[in-house]
Chain A
Amino acid sequence: MTGPWGLALSGARAHRAGLSGTALVLAAAGAVVSMVGVLLESGLRAAPGVDGGLLTALASSYAGTALVVVLLVTATTVTLALRGRRRELALLRTVGATRGQVRQQVSREVLLVAGVAVPLGALPGVLLARRLVPLLVDAGVLAPGGELAISPLPALGAVALLLPTALLAGRLAARETLRSSPTEAVRDSAHEAPGIGGVRRWLAVAGAVAGLAAAFSPLVVPGTIGAASAATSAFLLVAAACLAGPLLVAATFGRASRLPGARTGAPTRLALHNLRGYSRRLTTVVVPLALALATGTIQTSVDRSVAEAAGQQLTAALGADLVVTGATTPDRVREATALPGLARVVPLTDTPAEVRTDSDDLPDGLVWERTSLRAVPADVPRDVLDPGVTEGSLAALAEPGTVAVSSDAAFELGLDLGDAVPVRVEGAEHRLDVVAVYDRGLGLGDYLTDTSTVAALGGAPAATTLLVDADDPAATGALRGLELGVATAEGYAASVVSADAALQRLSTVLLLALLVFVGLGAATALVLSTAGRRAELALLHRTGATRRQLVRMTLVESVLTGLLAWVIGTAAVVPAVVGVSAGLLGWHLPVVDLPTYALLSGAVLVTSVAATVGAATWAVRLPRGRTAAA
Chain B
Amino acid sequence: MDIHTTTLPRTTTQPAVRLVDVHKTYAGATPVAALRGVTLDLGRGTVTAIMGQSGSGKSTLLNVAAGLDQPTRGRVVIGDQDTAGLSPDRLTRLRREQVGFVFQSYNLIGHLDVRANIELPLVLGGRSTDEAWLAELVGSLGLTGLTGRLPGELSGGQAQRVAIARALVTRPTVVFADEPTGALDSRTGAQVLELLRDTARRLDQTVVLVTHDSVVAAAAERVVLLADGLVVDELLAPTVEQVTARMLGLGR
A residues contacting B by CB (< 8 A) are 1-4, 6-7, 10-11, 13-15, 88, 91-101, 178, 181-184, 186, 625-630
B10 at the interface (CB under 8 A from A): no
Nearest chain A residue, comparing its CB with the CB of B170: A96
* Cross-chain contact B107 with A94 (CB below 8 angstroms): yes
With A91-B107, A95-B166 in contact, do A7 and B152 touch (Cβ < 8 Å)? no
Q: Which chain A residues border B92 with CB–CB below 8 Å?
A: 93, 96-99, 182
Which of A91, A182, A186 has a CB less than 8 Å from the CB of B109?
A91
Q: Closest Cβ of chain A: how far from B174's Cβ, in Å?
A: 13
Q: Which chain A residues border B154 with CB–CB below 8 Å?
A: 628-629
* Cross-chain contact B69 with A186 (CB below 8 angstroms): no
Interface centre among B96, B152, B159 (most CB of A within 10 A): B152
- Interface size of B by CB at 8 A reads 35
* Cross-chain contact A88 with B110 (CB below 8 angstroms): yes
A353–B95 CA distance with the chains assembled, in angstroms: 72
B175 at the interface (CB under 8 A from A): no
CB-contacts of B76-108 with A (<8 A): 88-89, 92-93, 95-96, 101, 103, 106-108
* Cross-chain contact B150 with A626 (CB below 8 angstroms): yes
Q: Closest Cβ of chain A: how far from B120's Cβ, in Å?
A: 5
* Cross-chain contact B89 with A629 (CB below 8 angstroms): no
Nearest chain A residue, comparing its CB with the CB of B116: A1
* Cross-chain contact A96 with B111 (CB below 8 angstroms): no
A7–B122 CA distance with the chains assembled, in angstroms: 13
A91–B166 CA distance with the chains assembled, in angstroms: 13
Nearest chain A residue, comparing its CB with the CB of B107: A91
B204 at the interface (CB under 8 A from A): no
* Cross-chain contact A10 with B107 (CB below 8 angstroms): no
* Cross-chain contact B107 with A626 (CB below 8 angstroms): no
* Cross-chain contact B123 with A184 (CB below 8 angstroms): no
* Cross-chain contact A3 with B151 (CB below 8 angstroms): no
Q: Closest Cβ of chain B: how far from A284's Cβ, in Å?
A: 23
Nearest chain B residue, comparing its CB with the CB of A12: B111
Show 6 A/B contacts (Cβ-Cβ < 8 Å), sorted by A. A2-B116, A13-B111, A93-B92, A94-B107, A181-B88, A627-B152
A178–B154 CA distance with the chains assembled, in angstroms: 29
* Cross-chain contact A95 with B121 (CB below 8 angstroms): yes
Nearest chain B residue, comparing its CB with the CB of A625: B152
B181 at the interface (CB under 8 A from A): no
Q: Which chain A residues border B151 with CB–CB below 8 Å?
A: 626, 628-630
Nearest chain A residue, comparing its CB with the CB of B183: A629
* Cross-chain contact A95 with B116 (CB below 8 angstroms): no
A3–B116 CA distance with the chains assembled, in angstroms: 10
Q: Which chain B residues border A14 with CB–CB below 8 Å?
A: 110-111
Q: Which chain B residues border A97 with CB–CB below 8 Å?
A: 92, 124
B139 at the interface (CB under 8 A from A): no
Which of B110, B124, B156, B159 has a CB less than 8 Å from the CB of A95?
B124
A621–B227 CA distance with the chains assembled, in angstroms: 46
Q: Closest Cβ of chain A: how far from B93's Cβ, in Å?
A: 7
* Cross-chain contact A96 with B68 (CB below 8 angstroms): no
B63 at the interface (CB under 8 A from A): yes
Q: Closest Cβ of chain A: how far from B24's Cβ, in Å?
A: 10
Please provide the 7 A-B residue pairs with the shortest distance between their CB atoms, ordered closest to farther: A626-B152, A14-B111, A630-B110, A96-B96, A629-B159, A629-B151, A98-B89
B70 at the interface (CB under 8 A from A): yes
